[in-house]
Structure 1
Amino acid sequence: MTITTEEQLEKLKAIGRICALARDAMAAAMRPGMTTQELDEIGARLLAEHGAQSAPVVTYAFPGNTCISVNEEIAHGIPGDRVLLAGDLVNIDVSAVKDGVFADTGASFVIPPEKTQLTALCRDGKKAMWAGIRAVKSGAPLSDIGDAIGKFAKKGGYTLIRNLASHGVGDSLHDEPGEIATWPDRSERRRMNDGLVFTIEPFLSLGGRMADQKSDDDEWTLVSRPSAPCVQYEHTVVATPRGAMVITVAN
């Protein structure tokens, strides 16, 4: 999606806020002993209360309203009977559609009591996302995003998952301009046109480099290869001459 009217922007802001509210409500409700299905139901109720639909369900018939990935899972985890435990690393990814407009957001959390290494990884995963967001500006190369995130990751001694990318969003869940690397990519020649809507979502890891299918009987859930803790933080943004307009905020 490329924003060309105020009506488009208002619809995008509306669904972005709903996604953020669901993400934050789920994070606040997380506790040891609850299942990922129970956590998913909290997000589902909030989406429904605001007249939104789960984008993974609408687009891919995903078997859950949100994606919830725990510990060794790094993306697209299916909500179910897995019980959350103290110290678990949990990623919540919420994408939804309302009035024909899609938004997407995500964040990772450690259920207290937290482990120092994972707490630091979460802190720096969020910083990596913001390094990418600060590189957004209409007219600038899309490669600036991956370069900024890659510089941050290298300085901190982290790796980046290199087959899970940012993407366009708005008219659909996965919209043009297609995959946008959150790592340095010398082949990237595209630029951010004014009003372009897309996600910034690096996967920062303590050694992981690629995402792989968890098992033969689970076509959705992805794990890190090599196996290592990994976090994801994600916002939907709009490129403007002044920088990024962040859409997936709750206020």
Structure 2
Amino acid sequence: MSTPTATTPGTSGQSHNLPAQPGTAPVGRLAPGVLSPWRQVPAAITRPEYVGKPEADEGNDSNMYTAEEIDRVRAAGRIAANALQEAGRACVPGTTTDELDRIAHEYMCDHGAYPSTLGYHGYPKSLCSSLNEVICHGIPDSTVLEDGDIINLDVTAYKDGMHGDTNAMFLVGEVDEQSRLLVERTQEALNRAIKAVRPGRQFNVIGRVIEKYAQRFDYGVVRDFTGHGVGREFHSGLIIPHYDAAPAYSSEIRAGMIFTIEPMLTLGTIQWDQWDDDWTITTRDRLRTAQFEHTMVVTDDGVEILTLPDNSAA
């Protein structure tokens, strides 16, 4: 989860996309659906400190972790990654985004983890579901997935005092070529950024790598929502820009740091609008956008991804 219309919700009977030329992405016209009640978490599962409060007490963490703490973040990250994978399997035409939330919620609870987004600054669900033109922080609701949609699911799990945060894109049915390439290239942008992480390098190198790659395809790189420190806190004070922010963000990357990288690329503008729910962020031109995210720890010679699912060979 990153740090800072039409009038009818999408249903199986009416499209939330305007028609497009073959091979090109449709222009979105997504609107809010209906929210289901707040999902319950078993009482035995430990809550983050912010649950039940209007704001989280965070932003002053050191971002440095011991080996034992890294193990705990890895465990939380694995649960988040597995929950993401479970929900991703259900990204087919006819499924509601609320159903995706239920799947991830139940997986995390069944594995003793609290869904970190639930109750974070009042957020009402256990994952973020960002469909088509939604850049980030979309709220799961009664919206029905349609053939040709692309959707980002963002899942964070909290267990044993640590958060693990990850997200990925999923293709719904037969997706147009322009959208498919956007998704593939956004994942490649994340992969390249991860490879650029080394102790002693400046944080602004990460965004430089992402932006340079995105510019090859004339994609926009969202600037106002960033990667962040994560672990003991859901969002620490550490900010990871996804664009070339030099000379700003020149502090050095150090071994033992944990943070996310989560680039958001767009087919058009990087200007955005926010819905009245105070969460959902869409591209102003309603063109499509994609995002991928991992939590990682800096090692002596590079980085280790902490949000890999059980079946990953990485």
The TM-score bracket by the shorter chain reads over 0.9
TM-score by length of structure 1 reads 0.95
Q: Which amino acid aligns with 1:53?
A: Y
The corresponding residue for 2:279 is 220
Aligned-residue offset at 1:127 = 0.3
The corresponding residue for 1:244 is 303
Q: Which amino acid aligns with 2:307?
A: T
Paired residue secondary structure (1:220)? coil
Return the index of the structure with the highest Cα Rg. Answer: 2
Within 1, Cα distance between the matches of 2:94 and 2:207? 38
The answer to whether residue 181 in structure 2 is matched with residue 120 in structure 1 is: yes
Within 2, Cα distance between the matches of 1:37 and 1:99? 27
Identity across the alignment (%): 36
5 Å-filtered alignment, 1:29-48, equals 29-48=90-109
Within 2, Cα distance between the matches of 1:77 and 1:95? 14
The answer to whether residue 77 in structure 2 is matched with residue 16 in structure 1 is: yes
Paired residue secondary structure (2:237)? strand
The answer to whether residue 187 in structure 2 is matched with residue 97 in structure 1 is: no
Paired residue secondary structure (1:231)? strand
5 Å-filtered alignment, 1:17-166, equals 17-166=78-227
| Equivalent of residue 294 in structure 2, options 213, 224, 235 | 235
Within 1, Cα distance between the matches of 2:63 and 2:277? 35
Within 2, Cα distance between the matches of 1:249 and 1:160? 25
The answer as to whether partners of 1:17 and 1:247 remain within 8 angstroms in 2 is yes
Aligned-residue offset at 1:171 = 1.1
Per-residue CA deviation, residues 71-122 of structure 1 (Å, 9 max, x unaligned), is: 2222111111111111111110001211110111001122011211111111
Count of aligned residue pairs for this structure pair: 248
Paired residue secondary structure (2:259)? strand
TM-score by length of structure 2 reads 0.76
Within 2, Cα distance between the matches of 1:246 and 1:37? 28
Aligned-residue offset at 1:226 = 3.5
Give the gaps of 5 or more residues in structure 1: none
Per-residue CA deviation, residues 21-45 of structure 1 (Å, 9 max, x unaligned), is: 0111111122111111111100001
Within 2, Cα distance between the matches of 1:11 and 1:3? 13
The answer as to whether partners of 2:66 and 2:256 remain within 8 angstroms in 1 is no
Within 1, Cα distance between the matches of 2:121 and 2:88? 24
More strand as a share of residues: 1
Runs of 4 or more off by more than 4 Å in structure 1? none
CA root-mean-square deviation: 1.3
Give the gaps of 5 or more residues in structure 2: 1-61
